[in-house]
């Protein structure tokens, strides 16, 4: 059995190129999402705009991390014949992902809660606890996969993985509770979109512990390692881009509902999938 960390694998040409394709594809998708999110912020009312701001920050941080990831991947291997031989710098490829997740996963909880109906002290408490749990979930996973015995200890992987799972479980309970409490307060279309966004987020979260546990049960071959990198990249796009687009739709629908109910104004009509959901309502002018 190969006792080296999984990221120090000698990679055949085809598998190396597959991982490169996954990294670059995810990075470009995240960059495109960042630009779209930043330029569409005015489509959403002020009440739900923190969700758009969180999504833009998530996309920007993730796109930058994928740029660094590609740099690490490209510089961490040397081509020798028909194989790419790893150097010690290749270890930083996984560490870069964990740094990304430490920032973006807590922000994903902020993005979701920003379109829920939880308010006041409860909203502040829930936001603080879910962000803390998300950060601790990533940190403890990083300890097991990279820090403890340089990622070679199966016992550390399992032990820290179980600790990480505790925080993971709390996130599920807290976020599902907030979503279930919010759905009756909004229209059916917004509620369905919020439900779908939650399924996408929590479903994509489930990919990470599955990939994390691969070294516990298997000797990580180059093929397995390439599959792990592709899975991480795909899950990142799903959790950040797919989820972000759905949350943006919820924010637009809720903006339209608030305008229709006379609870808010919005300076331009709200269009979703070429269907007008509200007309432009200008705020009242102050007397001169």
Can you state the angle between helices 49-75 and 243-260, rounded to 10 degrees?
170
pLDDT grade for 264, boundaries at 50, 70 and 90: low
pTM of the predicted model, to two decimals?
Answer: 0.87
Res. 133: pLDDT tops 90:
yes
Separation CA 251–CA 149 (nearest Å): 45
Separation CA 210–CA 232 (nearest Å): 10
Res. 187: pLDDT tops 70:
yes
Phi, psi of 278, deg, nearest 5: -160, 160
pLDDT grade for 270, boundaries at 50, 70 and 90: low
Are 65 and 92 in contact, with CB atoms under 8 Å apart? no
3-state secondary structure of 279: coil
Separation CA 63–CA 33 (nearest Å): 9
- Distances in Å between the alpha carbon of 262 and those of 253, 255, 266? 14, 11, 10
Domains of the chain (ranges, CATH numbers): 11-256 (1.20.1070.10)
Strands 77-80 and 270-272: unpaired
Separation CA 52–CA 54 (nearest Å): 5
Res. 274: pLDDT tops 50:
no
Report how far Cα 265 is from the mean position of its chain's Cα atoms: 31
CB atoms within 10 A of CB 26: 27
Separation CA 93–CA 66 (nearest Å): 10
pLDDT grade for 152, boundaries at 50, 70 and 90: low
Tokens describing residue 40: 């569409």
* 7-17 residue pLDDT tens: 677 888 889 89
Phi, psi of 84, deg, nearest 5: -105, 115
pLDDT grade for 74, boundaries at 50, 70 and 90: confident
pLDDT score, position 182:
94
Mean pLDDT of 131-153: 81
Mean pLDDT of 96-102: 92
Mean pLDDT of 164-184: 94
Tokens describing residue 200: 């996408």
Query: Percentage of residues in the chain with pLDDT exceeding 90?
Result: 52
Q: Which residues contact 92 (CB under 8 A, 6 or more apart)?
A: 72, 76
Strands 11-12 and 83-86: antiparallel
Res. 101: pLDDT tops 70:
yes
Res. 286: pLDDT tops 80:
no
For 281: left if phi > 0, alpha if psi spans -120 to 50, otherwise beta; the answer is: beta
Res. 244: pLDDT tops 50:
yes
Res. 201: pLDDT tops 90:
yes
pLDDT grade for 155, boundaries at 50, 70 and 90: confident
Res. 150: pLDDT tops 70:
no
Which range, of 14-28, 87-101, 162-176, 221-235, averages the lowest pLDDT? Answer: 87-101
Separation CA 243–CA 264 (nearest Å): 25
215 vs 164, which has greater pLDDT?
Answer: 164
pLDDT score, position 147:
65
């Amino acid at each position: 059995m190969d006792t080296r960390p999984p990221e120090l694998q000698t990679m055949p040409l085809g598998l190396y190129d597959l991982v490169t394709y996954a990294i670059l594809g995810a990075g470009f998708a995240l960059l495109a999402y960042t630009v779209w999110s930043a330029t569409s912020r005015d489509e959403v009312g002020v009440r739900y705009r923190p969700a758009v701001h969180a999504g833009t920050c998530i996309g920007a941080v993730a796109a930058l991390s994928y740029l660094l990831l590609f740099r690490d991947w490209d510089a961490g291997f040397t081509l020798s014949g028909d194989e790419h031989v790893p150097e010690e710098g290749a270890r930083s490829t996984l560490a870069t992902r964990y740094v990304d997740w430490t920032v973006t996963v807590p922000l994903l909880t902020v993005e979701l809660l920003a379109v829920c109906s939880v308010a006041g002290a409860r909203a502040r408490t829930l936001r603080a606890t879910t962000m803390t749990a998300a950060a601790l979930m990533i940190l403890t996973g990083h300890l097991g996969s990279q820090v403890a015995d340089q990622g070679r200890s199966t016992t550390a992987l399992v032990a820290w993985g179980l600790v990480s799972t505790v925080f993971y479980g709390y996130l599920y309970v807290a976020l599902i509770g907030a979503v279930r409490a919010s759905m009756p307060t909004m229209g059916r279309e917004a509620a369905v979109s919020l439900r779908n966004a939650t399924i996408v987020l929590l479903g994509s979260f489930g990919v990470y512990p599955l990939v994390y546990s691969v070294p516990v049960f298997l000797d990580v071959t180059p093929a397995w390692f390439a599959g792990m990198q592709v899975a991480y990249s795909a899950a990142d796009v799903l959790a950040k881009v797919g989820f972000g687009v759905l949350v943006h739709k919820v924010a637009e629908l809720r903006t339209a509902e608030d305008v229709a109910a006379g609870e808010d104004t919005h300076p331009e009509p709200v269009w979703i999938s070429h269907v007008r959901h509200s007309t432009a309502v200008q705020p009242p002018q102050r007397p001169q």
